[in-house]
Structures are given as structure tokens and as C-alpha cells.
Amino acid sequence: MKKAKYLDKDEMELAKSIEDEEWVSDLTVKEKKQFEKYARKSLTKQKRINIRMTERDLKKIQAKAIEEGLPYQSLISMLIHKYNEGKISISGAV
């Protein structure tokens, strides 16, 4: 189990018990499929956001997106996704 800094002792024990499959679902197959459908739909739902940045940064992002052959909005979204998944970090970048 990956140790998260933000979990307290009780939360760590709960996370370990879940990873060790100590929990058993009491959902019916039909209920489970319905909840999986809800989860899939909520995870794939796109939301619009507005963000302010310098024109210089925007131009650089647009140029890099052209180099990669994708829309700049997709590049920004991809960077945010990678950050959320822990694949890129901003530590030391500020």
C-alpha cells in the first residue's frame, strides 16, 4: 500500500483493510451494475472551466500542442490529468 501523507492512522487501517479485501459487498448484481454505470458516466463527464494565464504562456502551450498534433485544450487537460495521477510533479517548480 502506498503511504499517503494526508491519511491518519484510522484511515490507513481502513485503506489497508480494503486493499486486503476484508470487505464484502452486499449489493445485488443488478445494483452493482447500476452503480458501475453511474460511476462510469460521472468519470467520463466533461466540464468546462475558465482559466487566466499570461498570453505568453498560452502562446507557448499552443505552439507545443501544434508540435504534438493536438488541440491546446487537450494538452492542458492531459497535463492536469497527469498531475492528478501523480505522473508529473510541481515540487521545486515554484
Instruction: Place 38 in a pLDDT band, splitting at 50, 70 and 90.
Output: confident
Q: Residue 3's pLDDT band (boundaries 50, 70, 90)?
A: low
Closest CA to 4 of 93, 76, 86, 94: 86
C-alpha cell at 30: 443488478
Q: Residue 6 domain-assigned? A: no
Q: pLDDT of 43-87, one tens digit each?
A: 777 888 999 999 999 999 999 999 999 999 999 999 998 998 889
Q: Is residue 63 part of a domain?
A: yes
Report yes or no on 12 lying in a domain.
Answer: no
Residue 27 lies in a domain: no
pLDDT at 61: 96
Q: What range defines the domain where residue 70 resides?
A: 55-84
Confidence (pLDDT) at 92: 58
CB 27, CB 35: distance < 8 Å? yes
> Is the model's pTM score more than 0.75?
no
Asked whether residue 43 is domain-assigned, the answer is no
| Domain count across the chain | 1
How are the residues of the chain apportioned to helix, strand and coil, as percentages rounded to the nearest 5?
55, 0, 45
Q: How far apart are CA 61 and CA 77, in angstroms?
A: 12
Tell me, yes or no, whether 80 lies in a domain: yes
